[in-house]
Amino acid sequence: MSEKTTLGYSPCPNDTFIFHGLASGLVSWPNGLDITLADVEELNSLAAQGKTDVIKVSVAAAAGILDEYVLLRAGGAMGYGVGPILVAKGESDLNSLDGKTVAIPGRKTTANLLFGLCCREAGVNLTLKEMVFDEVMPAVAAGEVDAGVVIHEGRFTFAEQGMTRILDLGAWWEEYTGLPIPLGAIAIKRSLGEEVARDMNEAIRQSLLGSRANPDEARDYIKQHAQEMDDDVIREHIKTFVTDYSLDVGDGGVEAVSRLLREAGCDRKDIFISL
């Protein structure tokens, strides 16, 4: 490779924790990296346009890019008890929202796919309003929408902002399938070749292992980009969303991603790189 590899991921603590080693140069990459940090739905859009060599995407969005991209086994967000939540200002339930307006953090997000599956099972019809993820709870609080699907730091701060959890969509998925919830994954262009894909997979693993071994080295980089600056929230965010699945999805993770993609209408076998 003669040019810098373009890499995109979110400014959320789980991603900046995982990628700090690569971003800082502690983990080297041939000819360096041109890094873009962006909101999850913006990343999904960049991937759909094929504009970035390596990019973090919602697993739901991966359904539309697999002709051009293949998923790495490392660097993603997956686990049990890590899913998005549905919140409202007061006591409520999903059925009571029938016919009302709910804010979502982008139509191509895994959160929206899960919410849609849940509503389908419950027979609930809603009007959806797309927003950047950190605008969802303020919109709920201001009464602009009746409820909102919350991701990232909002999972830990909704109660402080006067929200009530109506439904844990991750818990719903786990009961529905018995599988971990696959939220995000790292996609790499197939045109770069299998060797580069495997090298990038290992570089991401080393970057993550480095942050686990020396978390203080990543702290400033994480806080520089975090929406929520409270140290306890940042630590809880990383603990929740950076799991052993982030080092390697394993057989269970492959099954979970395949199942979610089938729910999104994509039934392919060549989803992940081979090691």
Residues 33 and 93 in one domain: no
- Tell me which residue range forms the domain holding 163: 85-177
- Percent of the chain surpassing pLDDT 90: 58
Q: 261: pLDDT confidence band, cut at 50, 70 and 90? A: very high
Q: Tell me, yes or no, whether 272 lies in a domain.
A: no
What is the pTM for the complete model shown?
A: 0.85
Residues 93 and 66 in one domain: no
3-state helix, strand, coil in the chain (%, to 5): 45, 20, 35
Q: Tell me, yes or no, whether 99 lies in a domain.
A: yes
Q: Tell me, yes or no, whether 273 lies in a domain.
A: no
Residues 187 and 65 in one domain: yes
Question: Is residue 238 within a helix (H) or strand (E), and if so which, with residue range?
Answer: helix 231-241
Residues 100 and 172 in one domain: yes
Contacts of 232 (CB under 8 A, 6+ apart): none
pLDDT at 251: 94
Residues 156 and 194 in one domain: no
pLDDT of 156 strictly over 90? no
Residues 162 and 196 in one domain: no
C-alpha 127/C-alpha 118 separation (Å) is 15
pLDDT of 255 strictly over 80? yes
Q: Tell me, yes or no, whether 270 lies in a domain.
A: no
C-alpha 272/C-alpha 109 separation (Å) is 19
> First vs last Cα of the chain: how many Å apart?
21
Q: How many domains does the chain have?
A: 2
Residues 157 and 203 in one domain: no
Q: Which of 137, 154, 177 is the last residue of a domain?
A: 177
Ranges assigned E (strand) in the chain: 5-9, 33-37, 54-58, 69-71, 77-79, 85-88, 101-104, 127-130, 147-150, 164-168, 181-189
Hey, how many other C-beta atoms are within 10 angstroms of the C-beta on 225?
A: 13
pLDDT at 1: 54
For the chain, the maximum distance between any two Cα atoms, rounded to a whole number of angstroms, is 57
Q: Tell me, yes or no, whether 29 lies in a domain.
A: yes
Is there a contact between 241 and 165 (Cβ–Cβ < 8 Å)? no
Residues 56 and 12 in one domain: yes
Q: Which of 119, 148, 177 is the last residue of a domain?
A: 177
Residues 164 and 90 in one domain: yes
pLDDT of 157 strictly over 80? no
**Per the structure block, which two tokens stand in for 247?**
């080092």
Mean pLDDT of the chain: 91
Q: Which of 136, 151, 177 is the last residue of a domain?
A: 177
Q: 256: pLDDT confidence band, cut at 50, 70 and 90? A: very high
Q: The CATH number of the domain where 44 resides is what?
A: 3.40.190.10
Contacts of 62 (CB under 8 A, 6+ apart): 69, 71, 185, 187, 257, 261, 266, 271
Q: Tell me, yes or no, whether 274 lies in a domain.
A: no
Q: Is 108 exposed, middle or buried (0-12, 13-18, 19+ CB in 10 A)?
A: buried
Q: 18: pLDDT confidence band, cut at 50, 70 and 90? A: very high
Q: 92: pLDDT confidence band, cut at 50, 70 and 90? A: confident
Contacts of 155 (CB under 8 A, 6+ apart): 84, 85, 240
Span 13-33, average pLDDT: 96
Residues 71 and 22 in one domain: yes
Residues 200 and 225 in one domain: yes
Q: 228: pLDDT confidence band, cut at 50, 70 and 90? A: low
C-alpha 116/C-alpha 126 separation (Å) is 9
Residues 17 and 43 in one domain: yes
Among the listed residues 20, 152, 225, 237, the single catalytic one is: 152
pLDDT of 2 strictly over 70? no
Annotation says 237 is catalytic:
no
